Amino acid sequence: MTKILDRPAVAAAPAVAAPEGQQGRSIGYARVSTRSQTTAPQEADLQAAGCELVFAERVSTRTADTERTQLQRCLAELRPSDELVVVKLDRLGRTQREVIERLATLQDQGIHVRTLDGLVNTKALGKMAPLVVGLLTGLAEVERSLIRERTQASVEHRRVTGGDLGGRPRSFTSEQAEQVQRLVGEGMSIAAIARATGLSETTCRRLRGAGA
Do the Cβ atoms of 132 and 138 come closer than 8 Å?
Answer: no
Helix pair angle (96-108, 129-161), 10° resolution: 150
Do the Cβ atoms of 59 and 8 come closer than 8 Å?
Answer: no
- Classified as helix, coil or strand, 148 is helix
Active site (annotated) includes residue 33: yes
d(CA 122, CA 126): 7
How many residues comprise the chain? 212
Amino acid at 91: R
Q: From the candidates 26, 33, 60, 200, give the one annotated as an active-site residue.
A: 33
- SS3 percent helix, strand, coil of the chain, rounded to 5, is 50, 10, 35
Q: What are phi and psi of 23, to 5 degrees?
A: -75, 140
Active-site residue set: 33
